[in-house]
A and B are shown apart, each in its own frame.
Chain A
Amino acid sequence: MLGRTIVAGLVAASATVAAADTPVLTVYAGDYFNSEWGPGPGIEAAFEARCDCDLQYKTGDLLPRILLEGERTEADVVIGLTSDITKKARDSGLFAPHGADMSALTLPVDWTDKIFLPFNYGHTAFIYNNELIDTPPASFEALLDAPDDLRLVIQDPRSSISGLALVLWVQAVYGDGAKAAWEKLAPKIVTVTKGWSESYGLFTDGEADMVLSYTTSPAYHIIAEEDLTKSAAIFPEGHYFMVELVAKLAGTDNPDLADQFMQFILTEEFQSMIPTSNWSLPAALPVEKWPEGFRELPMPEKVLFYSEDEAASLRDTAIEAWRSALSQ
């Protein structure tokens, strides 16, 4: 233990000196989170202003890293887990109840989880260029029946969280008919990418007519680029709900700071930063307080969502339906 401290001290000497008397809250987050245009910097500044502490992000692979580190993890708080993979996180026993009052939540689904606290949400949706496509498919069924020269790009459910949401979406809409639905979709799928960013890049480069993304994606183009040509196709069958979560580590060295951060999540100050930095919907903010550009976005009437246990048990079936249909 002493040896480890000395090594750590030597290597991180400069950082340690600066932070010697300020308590540090270590927050694990996804890769994009703490980039200059991500939500991280704003949240850090706002929280540090009220906590007299130093909030430090460690970004990278979230869950694999926590599970690898186990009890040894330095994280006090993890931000950015998604609901479809929380079962593994919960089963690890590494997380503690958040203790936050969730009455302010404005999610389209009921949320009562005592460990994972939502901070933003969205829905899966296919995005298209409304200058090139006048009449997008009006339903999921219409998408399946669309001519095969409609070019789609999607993400791999085995490497991407949005890809996983898509197969669960198809599973929720078609149930046992999921494989047949995928078989109808297969000829239209130009390619399947590892992650969301490759897909979206292909779409904006004109490689595809529609891309699997989120209902909120057009807001970025509208607000940041004043580009009104991107729209989400809204389907009456419903859209799969995706929520991003925060959780506190049971073994945190700073339980008070961590609690304070958990209490901060659902405040208006935090929530109002979400739309234009995370480009998603705030988990606890009434629509009238959303920025312009978000308020006008068409939103699905029906929201589909599997609980974490359902998601865990359906996952292999949903992925296999996708895999076998697309392997033919």
Chain B
Amino acid sequence: MAQRAFAVTLPFVWALFAAGLVIGPVVAVIMRAGGLGGLGTPEYAALWFTIWQAALSAAVSVVLAIPVARALSRQQFPGRGALIALLGAPFILPVIVAVLGLLAVFGGNGLVNQIGGWLGLPRIDIYGYHGVILAHVFFNLPLATRLILQGWLAIPAERFRLAASLDAPMGRVLERPMLARIAPGAFAVIFVICLTSFAVALTLGGGPKATTVELAIYQAFKFDFDLGKAATLALVQLAMGMAAALALFALSPPAGLGAGLDRVPQRWDGRGRVVRIADFCWIGFAALFLLTPLAMIIVSGLPGLLALSADVWSSALRSLSVALGATALTILLALPLATKLGELAGLLGVAVSGLVLGTGLFLLVQPFVRPAEVALPVTLLVNALMALPFVLRILRPELDAAREDYGRLAATLGITGWALWRIVLLPRLRRPLGFAAGLTAALSMGDLGVIALFADGEHATLPFQLYQLMAAYRIEAAQGAALLLLMMSLGLFWIFDKGGRANA
């Protein structure tokens, strides 16, 4: 009994700890403000816009991801691995870089309008609600695709063989149960990501009608210095995120697809001519939609890349070390949190306002140390908290499956504690761990600084330098830095992901 009490308590403590890391700073802001502030018409309008654009963005991302992931899971072709890695790219792009790329394709003078111009079509404007949705789908379609693809790959080969031998419809016996398990979670995470959208809504939204809650927080904090209103909005945002997460967690059935030996799934559907053509159309659509903006960033960035200053390179190194440190911290936090409770606690990190988190941490550490001196640990912590929800979403299903399959065997053999992780769980988690680490590293690479309060300016990160270059009219250098940032984000992701997928 003691054993079991221990097993229940430890994840609880970890979840409480993770939740405290997010809630503590918010409380600090509220206390400093001396209470919560009231909301007016602009704030309610922002709230409504935030909710419906997040829901629509998440729905479109997941719905489009299903055929793309299905096609990728059952068609073999040269360069498939590289394509899957590349299709993940938009999700890990720094927002400003991605927006530049999207504009190069969909903007006023973008590819689409140029081609449309030759064909005599009317000019398309990206700015507005549809621009926000487009950008969010661009960012999140890769995430949805990867999550669903992982779901496909987690179905044991034996199941496919069984379904094939029974001539059973793959969709009904294998795909729908998998989707019922994976899709609500994917929707939840994307919904919550889009809830905190800030720069996208502002750059592509086309005006105040596309104001999100996060922007309202920024406004309240930066110009009005109205901490009470900022904290109220942050709480509203947290509540929305958690409500969404709770609702969808309740709908999402627990993992129950069983274990198989780790073989590459061999499938018997997807071989007909029509199916193959449809599949490759979907893959082509995804590649075109997701990769063209990247290509545009590369083309416009090359001239500036060769002329980057030493400052930019040293900030690139700094970003690299932040990314690696944040990755290590995230994985250390994530492994004990990969339980249902822990995942809920971790979700706070994506629903919380980065600005309020940074401000709260600032208030918390300021009485003890000079904030600039803890800039690095705080940066790592904030990045880790922001990445945790993704990492947990990726790790938990696999970890649950590993525990279900081998937990009893390990228990009878007396494999507990660190040995359990080393011998049983970690080897089973290689692929998702590689993916999760790559994601964290890339997201941290793109971190601009909710931590602007902590920065002393001499330790700027690469995205920060990019903004500075833009603010200093150095557009070509900025494009070069954007390309460097893109290469480093993708490079880090590729290395980790590759490490996880080797032999898997």
A touches B (Cβ under 8 A): yes
> Which of B9-17, B416-424, B449-457 forms part of the interface with chain A?
B449-457
**Are A200 and B473 within 8 A (Cβ)?**
yes
**Are A207 and B478 within 8 A (Cβ)?**
no
Q: Which residues of chain A have C-beta atoms less than 8 A from B321's C-beta?
A: none
**The residue from B103, B199, B215 contacting A207, defined by CB atoms under 8 A apart:** B103
- A176-212 residues with Cβ-Cβ distance < 8 A to B are 186, 189-198, 200-202, 204-208
Q: Which residues of chain A have C-beta atoms less than 8 A from B468's C-beta?
A: 31-32, 35, 38
**Are B472 and A32 within 8 A (Cβ)?**
yes
C-alpha spacing A272/B419, complex, angstroms: 68
Chain B residues within CB distance 8 Å of chain A: 32, 42, 45, 96, 99-100, 103-104, 107-109, 125, 127, 198-199, 202-209, 215-216, 218-219, 221-223, 225, 309, 311, 359, 362-363, 366-370, 372-374, 452-458, 464-465, 467-475, 478
Q: Which residues of chain A have C-beta atoms less than 8 A from B464's C-beta?
A: 31
> Which of A53-61, A107-115, A237-245 forms part of the interface with chain B?
A53-61
Q: Which residues of chain A have C-beta atoms less than 8 A from B478's C-beta?
A: 201
* A191/B453 contact (C-beta < 8 A), A32-B472, A323-B42 known: no
Interface flag for A260 (CB, 8 Å): no
**Are B207 and A207 within 8 A (Cβ)?**
no
C-alpha spacing A85/B374, complex, angstroms: 29
Q: Which residues of chain B have C-beta atoms less than 8 A from A194's C-beta?
A: 198-199, 202-203, 215, 218
**Are B369 and A11 within 8 A (Cβ)?**
yes
Interface flag for A294 (CB, 8 Å): no
A sample of 7 cross-chain residue pairs with beta-carbon separation below 8 angstroms, ordered by A number, consists of A12-B373, A35-B465, A61-B222, A64-B221, A192-B207, A205-B475, A327-B45
Chain A residues within CB distance 8 Å of chain B: 3-4, 7-8, 11-12, 29, 31-38, 57-61, 63-65, 67-69, 72, 74, 85, 88, 151, 156, 158-159, 164, 186, 189-198, 200-202, 204-208, 217, 220-221, 224, 279, 322-323, 326-327
* 10 nearest A-B pairs in the assembled complex, by CB-CB distance: A59-B457, A158-B219, A197-B470, A191-B127, A11-B373, A326-B207, A194-B202, A206-B109, A32-B471, A327-B209
**The residue from A4, A59, A85 contacting B223, defined by CB atoms under 8 A apart:** A85
Q: What's the nearest-Cβ distance from chain A to residue B303, in Å?
A: 13
Q: Which residues of chain B have C-beta atoms less than 8 A from A85's C-beta?
A: 223
**Are B208 and A192 within 8 A (Cβ)?**
yes
* A59/B456 contact (C-beta < 8 A), A197-B471, A326-B208 known: yes
**Are A60 and B108 within 8 A (Cβ)?**
no
Q: What's the nearest-Cβ distance from chain A to residue B208, in Å?
A: 4
**Are A59 and B370 within 8 A (Cβ)?**
no
**Are B472 and A37 within 8 A (Cβ)?**
yes
Q: Which residues of chain A have C-beta atoms less than 8 A from B362's C-beta?
A: 68
**Are A190 and B127 within 8 A (Cβ)?**
yes
Q: What's the nearest-Cβ distance from chain A to residue B167, in Å?
A: 54
**Are A190 and B108 within 8 A (Cβ)?**
yes
Q: What's the nearest-Cβ distance from chain B to residue A45, in Å?
A: 15
**Are B222 and A34 within 8 A (Cβ)?**
no
Q: What's the nearest-Cβ distance from chain A to residue B215, in Å?
A: 7
**The residue from B223, B372, B457, B467 contacting A159, defined by CB atoms under 8 A apart:** B223
* A192/B471 contact (C-beta < 8 A), A29-B457, A158-B219 known: no
**Are A327 and B208 within 8 A (Cβ)?**
yes
**Are A60 and B109 within 8 A (Cβ)?**
no
C-alpha spacing A279/B45, complex, angstroms: 38
Q: Can you add 20 more A-B contacts, CB < 8 Å, to A205-B107, A205-B475, A326-B207?
A: A8-B373, A12-B373, A31-B467, A33-B457, A57-B456, A57-B458, A59-B457, A60-B457, A61-B453, A63-B225, A159-B215, A159-B223, A190-B206, A198-B199, A200-B470, A201-B100, A205-B103, A207-B108, A327-B207, A327-B208
